[in-house]
Amino acid sequence: MPCPCGSISPYETCCEPFHKGKSFPATAEQLMRSRYSAFVKQEVDYLRETLWPPNQKHFDEIAHRSRAENSLWLGLSIYDIGGGSEQDSRGTVLFNARSMANGKLQEQVENSLFRKRDGRWYYVKAVG
């Protein structure tokens, strides 16, 4: 079965190694996709660990766990990528994460900012 991130690769060779700490995403897009998969697979610790370190103290584990557990995840679309390559230290990813919660379709369209620190990519915040 393909990875929830939209890759044709199986979860076990795509996002699971990131979720289990065996490797790290090489690009901002890979991190975005792995964070979406973390919601699908309810890997809430990964969501906190991949949040920009100064922002981790504000991470709401209960809200993220509730969102992950109480949603039917329908798919991820990537619309635009700005930077975020292996050579970059900053990047943006415009995406749409679709889910169903409480009988209602939800679409989270966001342009996310990612930054690299000590060779690892982190989600910073939604931008413009």
pTM of the model: 0.96
Q: What is the CA radius of gyration of the chain?
A: 14
Structure tokens at 10: 């199986």
Strand partners, 51: 123
Residue 91 and residue 81 in contact, taking contact as beta carbons nearer than 8 Å: yes
Domains and CATH numbers, the chain: 11-126 (3.10.450.50)
**Average pLDDT taken over every residue of the chain:** 97
Q: For residue range 53-107, list pLDDT tens digits in order.
A: 999 999 999 999 999 999 999 999 999 999 999 999 999 999 999 999 999 999 9
Q: Any idea what the Cα angle at residue 117 is, between residues 63 and 9, rounded to 5°?
A: 65
Between CA 40 and CA 51 the distance in angstroms is 17
pLDDT at 35: 98
Q: Any idea what the Cα angle at residue 34 is, between residues 86 and 69, rounded to 5°?
A: 160
Give start and end residues of each alpha helix (H) in the chain. 16-19, 28-40, 44-49, 61-69
Mean pLDDT value of segment 48-57: 97
